[in-house]
Amino acid sequence: MTDAALPQPTSIRDFMAFEEHVRNARARRGAEVPPEWYEGAAFYFTNAGPSVIHGDGATIERPASTKMLDVELEVALVIGTAGRDISADDAESHIAGLTIYGDWSARDVQRREMAIGLGPAKAKDFAQSLGPVLVPLSELEDVRVGRGRWDLAMDLLVNGERVGGGNLRDIHFDLAQLVEVASADVELQVNDYLGSGTVGTGCLLEHADRPWLEPGDTVELRVERLGVLRATIA
């Protein structure tokens, strides 16, 4: 693993590219995966400001506005070469590497925002965890399983107990497709981040029997070959 410094994001686009997560999350609301989801990868922009970007071992303060704090286990790719209208077949030449991404979520705030057709915004505005290192694609060739797809186990642990997780290889829209979508009609910049979206079962929302995060809880986001990203809730 390359112990590379993680660059400050110029932007973070967070996709929703794992079908299992979409299916599980919508089932909590009695809904099915909309057919439009399969038409192409979708994303939203989230806060990339330096005051909300946290690394390994950080303390994450639970926002006063939420009683339903959650975290989503993701992988993020970092753009290393700028480009516009990048095809999926050329996308990997624009990727500097992969890292772990913890997308912190205030679910009650998110529910209210999404009900009015705008968001997520404040539900995701308060914290983003990235790290601990940036791993170049060249170091992952032995676990490649296709274009934009790698065999990397992913695990979410809370207070030392595994909650859920999966494997990056099971992503519906591969990482190369995410670059293609994000770069359509716009130039991606160096140090833009693209999040994969939550791996199936990789957040508390998908586990009705699990309590939301509370002060004192410890969280570990583990991705094979990418390391462990840790946080404590305050």
Mean pLDDT value of segment 120-142: 97
Mean pLDDT value of segment 141-164: 98
Mean pLDDT value of segment 86-108: 98
Give the separation between CA 23 and CA 172, rounded to whole angstroms.
12
What pLDDT is stored for residue 215 in this prediction?
A: 98
The pTM (predicted TM-score) of the whole model is 0.97
Q: Which of 5-9, 37-41, 158-162 has the lowest mean pLDDT?
A: 5-9
What does CATH list as the number for 11-233? 3.90.850.10
What pLDDT is stored for residue 38 in this prediction?
A: 97
Residues 116-125 pLDDT 10s: 999 899 999 9
What pLDDT is stored for residue 29 in this prediction?
A: 87
What pLDDT is stored for residue 2 in this prediction?
A: 38
Mean pLDDT value of segment 151-173: 98
With a cut of 50, say whether residue 126 has pLDDT above it.
yes
Closest CA to 147 of 121, 115, 169: 169
Task: Kindly report the average pLDDT of the chain as a whole number.
Answer: 96
Q: Between vectors from CA 165 to CA 29 and to CA 208, what angle results, nearest 5°?
A: 30
With a cut of 90, say whether residue 4 has pLDDT above it.
no
Domain ranges within the chain, ordered by starting residue: 11-233
The percentage of residues in the chain with a pLDDT greater than 70, rounded to a whole number, is: 98
Q: Are 4 and 133 in contact (CB under 8 A)?
A: yes
Dihedral pair phi/psi, residue 2, rounded to 5°: -80, 125
Mean pLDDT value of segment 125-132: 98
Task: Name residues whose C-beta falls within 8 Å of residue 122's C-beta, 6 or more positions apart in sequence.
Answer: 63, 65, 106, 109, 113
CA distances from 5 to 12, 158, 195 (A): 17, 26, 18
